[in-house]
Amino acid sequence: MILIYGEEGRGKMTLASSVASFNLVRYRHHDESVFLYAFDLIELNGDDLRRDPLDSRKAKLEMMLAKTGPGIRFNEHMEGDGEIVFRHACKLGLEGIVSKRKDSLYRSGRSPDWLKMTNGNAPAVKREAEEDWGKEKWR
């Protein structure tokens, strides 16, 4: 099983500015440019990987995805000062960043090993706050 970027498994589309455009995905324009980011692997061939550290799970995922075709991409990670990375993401107009401890085990829900920082000025974040994305269906 591969977990896909986005709480609803929404596809990301890269434009010249590298900012996702959910309207293009929603209305199926430029389907050939749509791809999903895989960022974690919690099960492989029936083996539960949740007790393995994140860096080990990501290494397995990266090897798996090296053999796949277009449409799914490995979500690289970067190490560094989270505050600087977040400010840079905001300047680029991105939605935000997710920070995880690379030695952390997988746990469902929120944990101190997993932090999501959202850019309230990003168009997608504003739009999600304004629109009803069917959140009642997901509860």
Mind listing the pLDDT tens digit for each residue in 44-90? 999 999 999 999 999 999 999 988 877 788 888 888 888 898 898 88
pLDDT of residue 51: 94
pLDDT of residue 115: 85
pLDDT of residue 41: 92
Please name the residue ranges forming H helices in 7-122: 22-26, 54-65, 82-91
pLDDT of residue 35: 75
pLDDT digits (tens, 9 = 90+) for 1-19: 222 333 344 444 333 344 5
- The span from the CA of 58 to the CA of 80, in Å, is 18
> Which residues 6+ apart lie within 8 Å of 122 measured at CB?
90, 93, 94, 95, 96
- H-helix or E-strand containing 114? strand 114-118
pLDDT digits (tens, 9 = 90+) for 114-129: 888 889 888 877 777 7
